[in-house]
A and B are shown apart, each in its own frame.
Chain A
Amino acid sequence: MFSSFTRSTVSKLVNGSGASALINARTYYRMPSVPYAQKGLKPFLSERSISFHLEHHKTDIEKANNLVDQTPYRDLPITQVLRQAGGDSEEAPFFNLASSHFNQSFFWKSITDRITEPSVFMLKAFRMDFGSFEEFKAKFSRNASSMSMPGYTWLVFRDKSLSIINTFGSGSPYELEGAFPLLCLDLHERAYYLDYQTNKKKYIANFWNFVDWEFVENKFLNALVQDKDHKQSIEQALVEEYEREMYAFDRDQQSEKDAYIENAKKQTEQALANKDDIDFDDDLEQQLDKEELDGRFAVEEETSEDLYSEDDFQIKK
């Protein structure tokens, strides 16, 4: 925000006063807003569990802020830090804290107490990459429950497709080239131990009722800003799917009609062949007679006159 020249002159001016500590110690990382922290997310996570987890998260943020000024990543946004600092062994403690902060924040944002549903666009993307929405949930849950070491399970968009990855400890999804995280589930013991102890499967099953699908879709659309072709291909595929379904509906109706007529013809032929009395539908016949007498099916006789005569179009002299 301030150039280094301004920063150094300002710091020289105020170095004598106690204000230097306040001005030089800028806070870079902040806790995101967690609106459900007061009430909790029953029956997924209790308020108690969330509050202890938030305390742990706060200490991570403080430690990261204490370290960030001494690193070369002080002015970068956190996603850039995570992309670049992964291989930096000197700044490994800082990277671990920053990654841990990002991962935990992403988890707080991935869950909500509002009732949300995945949009049609999101569902089509799931169908394209996993077969169905249920299969995606099953695969994500399997990935999550197979993690014996603490970490996170992520839904990421990468290489024009959605995929599910696991990160361990304080690993970051940004360590994978070109990956955009969309959704995560925290599998550290501190996230679920107070409420579920060893019953991780129940924790994962409850998670699906509290996912913030609007957040997931926002992240997906942000990622697709850089890949408009893929977004168009999803929309195109969605339209095609609708059209196919509509035609299928008409075709089904048509085939039903044909089948009915075929069946009726066969029955009549059989009856004639067996010289049975054809079973006329008496009610229908009476109704048809009545309608004919009422004149509903009266066919107008064609007149020889056209609706318009030639005289109408001639200028009367």
Chain B
Amino acid sequence: MISRFTSTNLLRGAVRYYGSTSTSYTLPDLPYDYKALEPVIAGEIMEIHHKKHHQAYVTNLNASLEKYAAAESAKDVAAMIGLQSAIKFNGGGHVNHSIFWTNLAPKNAQGGVSPSGPLADAINQQFGSLEKFIEKFNAQTVAIQGSGWGWLGYDKANSKLVISSCANQDPLSTIGLTPLLGIDVWEHAYYLQYKNARADYLKNIWQIVNWSNVAERYSKAKRLKHIHDKIAFNLVNLLYSIHWMDNRIE
């Protein structure tokens, strides 16, 4: 409840800030060459995926946010509502792909190296083993109808890993989970190489998953949950004390 309130205000502030000045979202650079992920993902796919698709999401996100800021200053609520789906689609696309590029790494640079540490413990505890986790993840992701993303997310409320999926470019935050690892199963992510064999693409992609990045996101999520819980606990205590002091003053 509290986090949604603050995050909405943060979004409003961000929109006002980014809409009014010249700073806007930019396409992040890939941490590796376009051809570095071959033979799992062809260089042609990486180039088109990064330069054309992700760039289009960034461009359209900036355009939508500009229009949103203009509508906000004109107090045109209908226009603001009309722009929300474009912001969700393009913003989601930008967020998802930015995570995706860091989730992958070339085979000679950590790609495919099995996880270790707390993440590995959590996976083994919840799914039995890494192989079983991959099997379950692939079964769920290959069954996504049409276009979407398969996700490994972190459920802060229950401190659990969750295998989930989202349609189109909806970010995982819409389900209330923290994204750790996402696999793009829009056809533009694999069609030029794997054609309609999505299952083969999902079988091979684990050779280039950057588990150290996933583990980093996992520990950050747990730390944030810890801080978030502390703030919430202190805030509730503060409110109770104020209430008690009110009663005492009377």
Residues of A in contact with B (beta carbons under 8 Å apart): 52-53, 55-56, 59, 93, 96, 100, 148-150, 169-170, 188-190, 193-194, 197-198
A-B interface, 3 closest residue pairs, ranked by CB to CB distance from nearest: A189-B187, A56-B196, A169-B146
Q: A194 with B191: in contact, given A149-B168, A169-B167 (CB under 8 Å)?
A: yes
Q: A193 with B53: in contact, given A96-B145, A148-B89 (CB under 8 Å)?
A: no
User: Complex Cα distance A148/B196, Å?
Assistant: 20
Does B191 lie within 8 Å of A149, measured CB to CB?
A: no
Residues of B in contact (CB 8 Å), total 18
Question: 11 new A-B pairs (CB below 8 Å) besides A170-B145, A194-B191, A198-B48?
Answer: A55-B195, A55-B196, A100-B145, A149-B89, A150-B146, A150-B187, A169-B147, A169-B167, A188-B187, A189-B186, A198-B56
Taking CB atoms, residues of chain B closer than 8 Å to A149 are 89, 147, 168
Taking CB atoms, residues of chain A closer than 8 Å to B188 are 189, 193, 198
Q: A190 with B146: in contact, given A149-B168, A198-B48 (CB under 8 Å)?
A: no
Does B191 lie within 8 Å of A198, measured CB to CB?
A: no
Residues of B in contact with A (beta carbons under 8 Å apart): 48, 52-53, 56, 60, 89, 145-147, 167-168, 186-188, 191-192, 195-196
Does A194 lie within 8 Å of B89, measured CB to CB?
A: no
| Contact among A148, A170, A198 for B146, CB-based, below 8 A | A170
Taking CB atoms, residues of chain A closer than 8 Å to B52 are 197-198
Does B145 lie within 8 Å of A169, measured CB to CB?
A: yes
Does B147 lie within 8 Å of A150, measured CB to CB?
A: yes
Does A193 lie within 8 Å of B168, measured CB to CB?
A: no
User: Complex Cα distance A198/B49, Å?
Assistant: 9
Does A188 lie within 8 Å of B192, measured CB to CB?
A: no
B98: min CB distance to chain A, Å: 18
Does B191 lie within 8 Å of A190, measured CB to CB?
A: yes
Max chain A C-beta neighbours (<10 A), residue from B48, B145, B146, B188: B146
User: Complex Cα distance A230/B180, Å?
Assistant: 58
Taking CB atoms, residues of chain A closer than 8 Å to B167 are 169
6 A-B interface contacts by CB (under 8 A): A149-B168, A169-B145, A169-B147, A189-B188, A193-B191, A193-B192
User: Complex Cα distance A52/B196, Å?
Assistant: 7
Closest-by-CB residue of A relative to B198 is A56
Closest-by-CB residue of A relative to B51 is A198
Taking CB atoms, residues of chain A closer than 8 Å to B192 are 193-194, 197
User: Complex Cα distance A150/B147, Å?
Assistant: 7
Closest-by-CB residue of B relative to A52 is B195
User: Complex Cα distance A188/B188, Å?
Assistant: 10
| Contact among A150, A190, A198 for B196, CB-based, below 8 A | A190
B143: min CB distance to chain A, Å: 9
Taking CB atoms, residues of chain B closer than 8 Å to A188 are 146, 187
Closest-by-CB residue of B relative to A53 is B196
User: Complex Cα distance A36/B118, Å?
Assistant: 56
Does A197 lie within 8 Å of B48, measured CB to CB?
A: yes
User: Complex Cα distance A189/B48, Å?
Assistant: 13
Taking CB atoms, residues of chain A closer than 8 Å to B168 are 149
Closest-by-CB residue of B relative to A151 is B146
Q: A193 with B147: in contact, given A56-B196, A198-B48, A198-B53 (CB under 8 Å)?
A: no
Taking CB atoms, residues of chain A closer than 8 Å to B146 are 150, 169-170, 188
Taking CB atoms, residues of chain A closer than 8 Å to B48 are 197-198
Taking CB atoms, residues of chain B closer than 8 Å to A100 are 145
| Contact among B56, B60, B187 for A190, CB-based, below 8 A | B187
Does B145 lie within 8 Å of A189, measured CB to CB?
A: no
User: Complex Cα distance A189/B186, Å?
Assistant: 8
